[in-house]
Structure 1
Amino acid sequence: MTAKDAAPGQSRARRSDPDRRERIIAVALDVIAEHGIAGTTHRRVAQAADVPLGSMTYHFKGIEDLLAAAFTLLANQTADGFEAALSAAATREEAVDAVVGLITSEMLGNDRAVVLTHELYSLAARRPDMRRVTDAWMARSRDALQRHFDPETATMVDALIEGLTIHRSLALNPLSTQTVVEAVKRIATIP
């Protein structure tokens, strides 16, 4: 029944969509990956999520609120990947292998992940309030690393992961996996 079909005094049935907010947030990441932050608008996200434009203002205070939610989702998904990879490691050597895998895998190195991460870094550099997202992400990453490394080494390895991932994603001739292995081993002090 549409609004036109409803008899006077009858309201039309509301579409049940309990996961709408989460779907909008996930789709916002796709829009950011395709159009960048500058090209991400409520209208564009609503269209991509197949929701009415009014849903955007119902679920989010503004575009900044949507961006924070989307980047929080990205950070949590990535941190979940860190935690899974490092919790599967039983020894320090396996943890080094897991770190190398994180740096060289699709999880961090695919084009979408690279673009989204760089968009987040740029936004956080311009908007200190967004550093809460990056700070929480780094804290979770370091916590996962501290299962196998002391806190200082975990911080170094975390920074190395980010740095090597950036280098590998932007270089015309990316660092070899062997160079990544050597770098992680040196910081992790494994001969």
Structure 2
Amino acid sequence: MSETPVRERILAAVLHIIGTDGIAAVTNRRIAAQAEVSLGSITYHFPSQTDLLRDALLGFVTDETARLTDLAEQYRDKGLSLQDAAALTEQVVRDLAFDAERMAPFELYIQAGRDPALRAAADQCFAAYDTLTVTILEALGVPNAATVAPPMVATIAGLQLRRLATGTDGQDVSAAIMMLIGGAMLAQQPPPT
């Protein structure tokens, strides 16, 4: 039996099942088998499937945001240019393997569109990504970072979804980031007189 706490094993199992076979495949029996826990432990920790799905999504994003924050901190004092930061972001995006656990959030975001009980969790997830992006953009000196962050997060997520759906790696994340930043900088310039 694993040393990992039961609750964490359950959430990891939920992400794996969703990423492998979709939300419809999430059953207590399947979770119990995947997590190697008793059926009763699932309902003890999560009274409803919505609680399970919400906590799985929030847990993934918390871990992912911490990982990306640590990565950003490694480069904070390296004097990266905007171009270098965009290229680094593209490399990070390309290096992500689409294992089941990384596919699951896309399914959960779609489910949040159907299930109002999950929308607050999805909103928290995107807010966490926005906050991380604002921090990075401000460190790079990008004006209006709070305005640029949501479209940047949406662009990267959209390109990732496209990559997942098509199986191709043809998107230029770096170019998309530079277009968004360039647009933000143009918006800062005073209008011609």
Structure 2 residues without counterparts, runs of 5 or longer:
138-144, 186-193
Per the normalisation by structure 1, the TM-score is 0.78
Q: Which has the larger radius of gyration?
A: 1
2:38 is aligned with 1:52: yes
Contact persistence 2:17–2:100 (CA under 8 A): no
1:164 to 139, 159, 162: 159
Contact persistence 1:46–1:53 (CA under 8 A): yes
Q: Please, what is the CA RMSD of the aligned residues?
A: 2.4
2:50 matched to which residue of 1? 64
Structure 1 residues without counterparts, runs of 5 or longer:
1-14
Contact persistence 1:75–1:133 (CA under 8 A): no
* Residues paired across the two proteins, number: 171
2:129 matched to which residue of 1? 141
| Displacement of 1:113 | 4.5
Q: Is the alpha carbon distance of 1:118 and 1:188 closer, same or farther for their aligned partners in structure 2, counting shifts above 3 Å? A: same
| Displacement of 1:75 | 1.7
Report % sequence identity: 27
Contact persistence 1:24–1:49 (CA under 8 A): yes
| Displacement of 1:44 | 0.8
Per the normalisation by structure 2, the TM-score is 0.77
* More relative contact order, 1 or 2 (CA 8 Å, 6+ apart): 2
Higher helix share: 2
1:28 matched to which residue of 2? 14
2: distance between equivalents of 1:157 and 1:85? 18
Cα distance per residue 1:39-97 (max 9 Å; x no partner): 11011101111111111121110222111111111121222233223333333424323
Letter in 2 for 1:20: V
